[in-house]
């Protein structure tokens, strides 16, 4: 299995209003370093998984709605706990949708899996990996 993995980053504010989260119930924030890996069984005619420039563009496009935002104020997250794990899945779904919509070119249709990793800081990170439905 081949993969190509690209990196970008966002800075967001949010709160996690459930007693489960202790001091993180209040408004705080995070810089997330975001890695997205695209997996494929075989390479295309140019010997790549996907065009790396297109992969970076897809990732940047996916993050645009989140960058420099207070997630508590965004309609799509009302009533949701925007944990790191949840955001991994949210970005995974957006990358899958972009692949299906052709944003990665014809190669997007041949992807087997995508893995999204969000690094909170040096000591903690979360990920979601699944098939490109």
Is the distance from CB of 56 to CB of 35 less than 8 angstroms? no
Nearer to its own copies, 11 or 109 (CB): 11
Q: Shortest gap between Cβ of 64 and its own copies (angstroms)? A: 10
**For the window 19-58, what string marks contact with its own copies as x by the rule CB under 8 A?**
-xxxxx-xxxxxxxx---------x--xxxx-xxx--x--
- Report the residue from 12, 91, 111, 132 that binds its own copies according to the rule CB under 8 A: 12
**For the window 51-90, what string marks contact with its own copies as x by the rule CB under 8 A?**
xxx--x----------xxxx--x------xxxxxxx-xx-
Residue 114 binds its own copies (CB under 8 A): no
41: CB partners within 8 A, 6+ apart: 1, 2, 110, 112
Q: Shortest gap between Cβ of 128 and its own copies (angstroms)? A: 5
Q: Shortest gap between Cβ of 26 and its own copies (angstroms)? A: 6
Is the distance from CB of 117 to CB of 84 less than 8 angstroms? no
Helices 52-64 and 84-100, packing angle to 10 deg: 130
Is the distance from CB of 57 to CB of 21 less than 8 angstroms? no
Quote the CA–CA distance of 84 and 109 in Å, as a whole number. Answer: 27
Is the distance from CB of 10 to CB of 66 less than 8 angstroms? yes
* Contact residues: its own copies, CB under 8 A: 1-9, 11-14, 16, 18, 20-24, 26-33, 43, 46-49, 51-53, 56, 67-70, 73, 80-86, 88-89, 120-130
């Amino acid at each position: 299995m081949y993969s190509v993995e690209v990196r970008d980053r966002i800075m967001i504010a949010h709160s996690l209003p459930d007693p489960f989260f202790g001091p993180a119930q209040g408004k705080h924030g995070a810089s997330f370093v975001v890695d997205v890996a695209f997996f494929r069984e075989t390479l295309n005619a140019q010997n790549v998984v996907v065009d790396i420039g297109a992969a970076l563009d897809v990732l940047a496009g996916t993050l645009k709605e989140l960058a420099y935002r207070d997630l508590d104020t965004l309609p799509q997250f009302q009533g949701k706990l925007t944990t790191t794990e949840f955001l991994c899945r949210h970005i995974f779904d957006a990358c899958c949708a972009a692949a299906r919509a052709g944003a990665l070119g014809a190669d997007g249709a041949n992807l087997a899996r995508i893995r999204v990793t969000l690094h909170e800081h040096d000591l903690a990170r979360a990920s979601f990996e699944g098939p490109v439905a």
